[in-house]
Amino acid sequence: MRIQDLFRKEVINLRTGERLGFVSDVEVDVCNGCLVAIVVPEKGHGFTLFGKCEEIVIPWREIQRIGEDLILVNIDTRCRTAKN
């Protein structure tokens, strides 16, 4: 699978059954070329006037399964970060 294939997959939280959205970005460790996390924009939060967007950063270890159309994760969605 290529990283670009992740952007077409919807992310579902197994803990709550919530549809989190689609992958918008990934974090890669450039030293070893490993995928560290996927990033999903928080529902209802688009870009603001200053380009800031609320996001859910999901560490690779929290990904339970990657299917043909879905990525199943097990996270506490109260942990969010802001990205410029």
pLDDT in tens, 23-57: 999 999 999 989 999 999 987 555 555 555 688 99
pLDDT at residue 54 in the model: 81
Q: pTM score > 0.75 for this model?
A: yes
- 6 pLDDT band, cuts 50/70/90, is very high
pLDDT at residue 83 in the model: 47
Q: Is the pLDDT of residue 84 over 90?
A: no
pLDDT at residue 44 in the model: 59
CA distances from 19 to 29, 30, 45, 50 (A): 27, 30, 15, 27
